[in-house]
Each structure stands twice: as C-alpha cells, then as structure tokens.
Chains A and B, each alone.
Chain A
Amino acid sequence: MENLIQLFYDEAYEMLDHMEQLLLSLESQSPDPEVVNALFRYAHSFKGNSAAMGFTHLSRFTHGLESAMESLRREQRPLTPQVTTLLLQAVDVIRAMLERTRTEGDVEEPACGSLLQQLQVALSGPPASTPLPDAADKPDRPDKSDHPDESDPSDKSEQAVPEAPSGSHRYRLIYQPAPTLSAEHDPLQLLRELEEYSTIIEARFQHQIPPLNALKPDACYGHWELVVETGFEPAILRAVLELSAEGASVQIDMSDPSAMSDESDRLDRAEAPQPIVRSEQPAPSVVAVGLPAKTESQSVRVATEKVDALFNLVSEIVIAQSMLSSAQSATSDEHLRAAITQMERHVRELHERVMAIRLLPIGHLFNRFPRMVRDTAAQLGKKVNLVIEGEETELDRTLLEALSDPLTHLVRNAIDHGIEPPEERRANGKPETGTVTLSAYQAEGRIYIVVSDDGRGIDIERVRQKAIQLGWLSENDQPSPETLYEFLFRPGFSTAQQVSDLSGRGVGMDVVKRNVESLGGTIQVHAEAGKGTRFTLKVPLTLAIMDGLGLRVGEEQYIVPLTAVVEAFRLSDLQYSALFEQQEVVNVRGRFIPLIRLRQFVGLPDITTSSQGVGADLRVCPPTENPANGSAGLSPSNKPNLQMEGEPPSEPKNYLQMEGEPPSEPKNYLSTARQEPRPSTKSSNELVLVLEQEGQQLALAIDGIVGQQQVVLKSLEENFTRIPGFAGATILGDGQVALILDVAYLIQRACNARERAYAA
C-alpha cells in the first residue's frame, strides 16, 4: 500500500509538471488541439487515480476540470490567456491539495469551487471570433457528450487518437516499404495505424516484379498507393508511416489525387474520388506528432546516503589502487602487471561513473522558470520570452538546489529591471517581446550558467552616481565599468527607481553573490546600454569536489579553495609591518593587507624567529596555545623542514633593512612561476598567498605550495566536531587526511585583530 501511495504521488506530480508545461507551451505557439487533448487526458487520469486512492475532494475537483476541458475540446474554443491562467491556477490548487493529503488527508480546498465557476464563465463566453468549421463536417467524428473511458476498448481509438483538426484534405500517398523484405514490417498494421489518422479512400498495391533470373528473393518490389482524407498535416502522416516502418519511404502528393484513377492496374476502389473543398484554415503546428510520447523516466530512486557510501568506498578503492600501481614496478610477473594495469583502468571508470550518479541535468532547475517568467512578466505588464539552452548540462543535485534562489533572483531582476515595457521597446526599435535567456554549459571542469536579457542594460552613470551618493566614490572618481559593476553586488545598492514588489529593495544582488561564492563559484556581470545584461555564474560541478591548492607548513599539508587564491608572492619581496605589534600587514601593490602566518595559526613554531634585536622588535608573535611554541628562538624543527626543500637554512632577516629599499613591484609567483626567483640574501622560503573572499583580502604566509588538486570535501562534523578555521577535510592520494582552510574565518579573524589593534 505504501508503494502504491508513493506511486500515486510520483505520478501525480509528474502529471502536474506536464500539464504546466503544456499550458505554457500554448502561450508561445499557435493553439494545438492535441495539447487540449493531452490536458484533458491528464485531468481524466487524475480524476481516476485520486478516486482510486479515496481522495474524493481531489477527484471531484479534477472531474470539474475534466468537464471544463471537455467543453474546450468539443467546442474548439481557443485558449485565451485568461483561460490558461485559470488552468494554471487549477494546477496549483491540485498541487496544494496533494500536499495537504499527505498531512491532513482528504480535505476540501476552498479555492476549488470558485475556480471551477470562473472557468465555466470564461468558457461559456461568446465563442471564438473566428468560427471554426462546423464539426459536423467530419463524418469520422461522432459527437460525444460523455467522457471517453480509457478502459473501454471500443472507445480507445477515439479517445487516444487526437481529433483531426477541421478542414480535411485529400492526399495521395506512395508508401514504399524498405527495399528488403527482411525488415520486419507488417503492412496491414501500418495501414491500420494510418487509418487512425485519416480515412483511407483508396488503397492499391503496385508491383514491378523483374524476370525470374533477375529476381532477388528478399527484395521488395511492390509499393502501395493510397488516397486518404485527413485533417492532419501531411507531415504527421509521414511521421506515422515512417515511425511504423523504419527504412520505408513515403511520398506525399498534395495535387489532385483523382489522377490516380487513370492508372490501369487497380486493385480495389472504395469510392470515386470526390471534389475536395479546401478550407483556408491555417494548418495546425506540428509540435505533437500523434500521441505525445509518454516520457517514462527509467530511473530508480536511491537514498543519497547509499550513493555517498558507494562513493566513499570507491574513493578508497582508488587509493588502494594507487598503492597497488606503485607496487607494480616491484614485480616482474607479467600477468600481475597486466592485471594491475587493467584494474587501474576499470577503477578509474568506476570512479567516474559513481561520481556521475550524483549529477542531475540542470533542466530540473530550469524547468521551474517558464512559469515564474510568465507570472512575473504578467504582473509587470511586460512581454517576455524565455529561452532555455543547455538544460542537459549535469551538475550535483545539492548544487542544483542551492542555485535555485540566486537564479530566481537574477531572472526576476532581468524581467523587472532589464526588459523594458513594450511601448519603450517599440520606441527603441526593439521587438515588443523581450527575451530572457537561461543557458548552461560545461567548460574547464566547471559549470557556466548565463542569465542574459536583451533589455536596457545597466546605466553605468547611474551606478556611479549612486555609488557617490552612498559614499563609495568621490565626485571625481571615474572607475572602469568592471569596477562599477562590482558595486551592484555590494550590500545596500539598488538602482531601481521605484521599489517594486518583486525586486529592487536594495537587497538581493549581494545575497546572490554570497550564495554563489558559498558554493565555491563566482559571478560576473557584463552589460551594454540599450542592448542587454548578462550575468555569468561559474560554479563547480559538484559541491563535494572542489579545486584546492595544497599548502605546506612544516610537514603538514593544508588545502585552500583555489577560488579564493588571488596571487602568491615571496614574503621577503613584500614590505610589511606590525600594527601596534599585534597585527602584521603586508603591502601588496600599494594596498595593506592583514597577514596571517599559517604556522602560527595552526600552532607550529615559527620558521624565522630572529635572535637579532631589531627584527624581533618588529615582529612580535602573539603567544599561541601550543606550549611547544612558548619560547622564541630557533626551533629545532626548523631544520628538517628547510632541508626538505633542499635549500640552505635562511638567515635571520633584518626587516629594518627592507624599509630603506625603494618599494619594488613584488613578483607574482603564480603567474611568473618559471622566472628565476630574485637572488636575495635575506630571502626566506616563505611564500605569501593573497586570498580573497567577499571582496576582502588576506595575506597568508606559508612554507610552500604543494600543488593544485581536485579534492573531495569531507565533513569534520559528521563524526567529530566543527573546528573553527577549517571548512572541512579531504583525503589525499595517499589516504592521509588534510584539513581545508576556512578563508572567510581567517579573514574575519584578521579583521578583528586589526580592529583590536586600531583600538589599542
């Protein structure tokens, strides 16, 4: 029973999603009777399913909905935006009722009655302005007043096959089966299928059998010539025939099919061709060919814990495999070596496949937007067309959820601030309907998500004025557009002229940026006045994996998220000073940035503790918790570290000397890695990484860089506890654990220390 209920809900939500998509598709395309039929069928199945589950209120409401659709279907009324809105509301009501059945059981939803009434009123209004041809013209369509019942086989074709749009045509079809008989065709079956979409008026079998000596036994020498009458597009007939028989060719001749009767070899003639009255009605669009393919998702629901456990296990196998591979060279056994190599390949593929289980197409997220765009645009009186691209791009499901809010905000902003009202667009020579594009793609191991619009863009001057007003700029500042765009993401910034219901309250973009950054991503904006705005989000494929930079202090390795790393310098190339002997700051390109020494932070003894007076005066280290670090002076653990690097131990530095030197442009070791380090007698091996998060920078002194690597994020809290200063841990290639630094915490700590220093 449990399973049955779950099945009901799964199916119900899926149907609601489809209904919503169909309703939305009606707005962008010319009305297609097949869509109305599909909607009708969904309402009908809903009625049946919910009645079977004993949800009488739900069943009653969907029954009402079904009746409304039936009249829509029968009377061939166009779906006005008003009706579509009501139907969309009905979908919402059903969804709400479904939710309530989970907790409160079968309860009445007050909105039902009035909604059905409104639907009835909307549907009983004056008929469509362009009267459609009378349904009585079509002999193959008996007027049905009761609902077709799917369980009744006699009704099946009638119910399942879309009603032919009014205005039948006659076509002459030549159907040539696949050239060999070995193709598994059943021509009779095919003709039956054709019959469901048309009335076959004539069917003739033509053949040209060659003399016996030229005859190929498995070749097909015959073809059918058919005259059919149908209201469907020829393309649909073609699709029916080609779908049923692969390799077949179909010719459709729209000219007068009566010419056929001149041909001699006729088999049978049902009736004489009659003159055809062609109506001028535009052909329906060929969106849904025949029955909508039931999109049955072939999937299994698996609890995420199970996937995670699998993932962990596979990671362990990868580590074990790497040990095995390194032991490979020790053996001379050819078989063993071959086996290890093969195993390695399989393990790698296994790893990739297990990783892929966690990924979902971004379409799951993008599909929420058509509805939201429609509602938002309607609310603002704008015309907006949403274009979705790259919905098959896959990313981690947790990431998918986390991206929902930022994207919703960006799309709302695009409609609210970007897209102009129709009049303004017309005046500017743009199409009245604006376009908002949501696209996703994968590049460089990351996911790019772009939200763009063809609206008015961003008024740079207004951003500047606003920034001046907020005291972020002085009157004479003329920063680059990129700098100005950055202001958009600052808390308290909003250029919206009026505060609207939807956006422009001055909160939002900063939250968007923070959300994206918390996912290890970045956001950039590019705008062109009058042409549009484009937001580009760059996020990792998965939250569980990120690009990290391995750092070394002493013999320990730590990881810092690569997204936070700006540049790296040799500490000795920078000028620095300690504010009130408390917080060290370094001068990077003329800016003073607080400096944190990772050694100190993690409680390791200092690498360069000076015994020569002046240096020590400038650099007073605050005492750390580590009792081993209590005394200043060369710690014995320095030497092995320095030897590890293969360089001579550095001499104690005299920091006063440096101050006398002209400030030279410090070298960026990330970008000029191949350059020879400047020879310097006073250099230590310490490097400084400039880290940035949320616009704030921090210099982190480290012993060395191990290298860039992809790391799998592991929780410290799951089996232990939160460690301030560390965002988590990861497992290195050798199975050892490395802690991941929490950059935001470090920055916070440095800033607090600086404030304390200023206050002193």
Chain B
Amino acid sequence: MQTVQEIPARSEAQLEKYLVFQIGNESYGMPLLQVQEIRTYTPATRVPGAPPYVLGVINLRGNIIAVLDARTRFGIEPPSEEESTVVIVAQVNGKTFGLRVDSVSDVLEVPMDEVQPPPPIASEATQRFLNGLVQVGERVLILLNLPEIFDLTEISRWTSAA
C-alpha cells in the first residue's frame, strides 16, 4: 500500500494521492491527506438509536470515534464473517471517524483533470457519496465524497428520533 505506482502522465495536470481500498470487487479512493491511519477492525461498542451503518464507537488512543460500515452505507450486502476487514481512520471536517472496508490495497496518484462526474445510473441515495470516476491504468477508481458519507446531521436525525 505504500508503493506509489508511477502512472505515465498524459498531461501536466495536478496529481493527487489517493488511498485505494476494496469493497467487493470494486476499487474506491479517498484523498490520502485525509487518512490518518489504518487499523484492523475490532468490535465496536454499539450506539443505541444510531443508523444501521454506524457500527459503533471505538477507543482510538483515548479518543472516542465512530466506525461506519462502508458496505451498509452503500447498500452492499455484508461480507462473509470470515473475511477480515480493516478500518480506515480519516479526518472529515475536523472530526475523526473510521470507515470499515474489505481491504486496503495501495496509494495511487490520480490526475484530477481526468476525473469524470459519476454517471446518473447510481441510485439517488448513493449518488451523493460519489465524487467521480477515474480510469487509472487498468483500474476504474470510484472517488468518494467523505463529508456525505460521514453526515452527522443525518446520524443525529436517527438518534434523536429514538
């Protein structure tokens, strides 16, 4: 994951580093600058009233952070129990949270001018989680919109309704 693949630059446009991770067969990316660390998933403490995609809260060196499940969030069926999962700890709007994904593969440099807006085929619910698609070498990378995924107002609506 530390290896940075040198992508032949087709233009001199700016390159941004993205952390690439897998959910199912697809590759997703989030800006490396927002990533704080990657840890193996340990059971979180359930938060009553929270939406199902909130796995709970964990102790990150004395700070309490929430861990969200990417699969549940995107409406993908849960992984089989045996599969080990990892948690990407990221910073969004000054808050730290964890996102559980299947696995993390590497870091890619993404030419930002080649990012295309997501096609309108995705459902409206998941559309907002996507920032765009980009072809990097052989792979299609789905760039995620972290603030939408970690939407606290949406979570608060759930918890205050409880």
Contact = CB atoms under 8 A, between A and B. Distances in A.
A714 B62 contact: yes
Interface string B29-49: 000000000000000111111
A663 interface: no
A-B pairs, 3 with minimum CB distance: A312-B62, A602-B48, A737-B45
Interface string A575-618: 00000000000000000000000000111000000000000000
A311 interface: yes
Interface string B127-156: 000000000000000000000000010011
A657 interface: no
Contacts of A210: none
Interface string A709-739: 0000011101111111110010100011111
Interface of A: 311-313, 315-316, 556, 601-603, 625, 714-716, 718-726, 729, 731, 735-739
B62 A316 contact: yes
B65 interface: yes
Nearest to A598: B48
A723 B47 CA distance: 8
Nearest to A319: B59
B122 interface: no
Q: With a 10 A CB-CB cut-off, give which of A556, A715, A720, A722 has the most chain B CB atoms.
A: A720
B59 A737 contact: yes
- In this complex, the interface size class of chain B, counting residues with CB under 8 Å from chain A, is 20 to 34
Contacts of A625: 49, 161-162
A715 B66 CA distance: 12
8 contacts: A714-B62, A718-B95, A720-B65, A721-B66, A721-B159, A723-B49, A731-B64, A739-B48
Contacts of B50: 723
Nearest to B65: A719
B2 to A, nearest CB: 25
Nearest to A729: B64
A542 to B, nearest CB: 15
Contacts of A724: 49, 159-160, 162
A719 B97 contact: yes
A725 B62 contact: no
Contact of B64 (A311, A313, A601, A719): A719
Contacts of B97: 719-720
Given A721-B159, A723-B159, A729-B57, A736 B45 contact: yes
Contacts of A736: 45, 59
Given A721-B156, A723-B47, A714 B63 contact: yes
Contacts of A725: 48-49, 162
B10 interface: no
A602 B152 CA distance: 20
Contact of A737 (B49, B58, B61, B162): B58
A11 B44 CA distance: 50
B85 interface: no
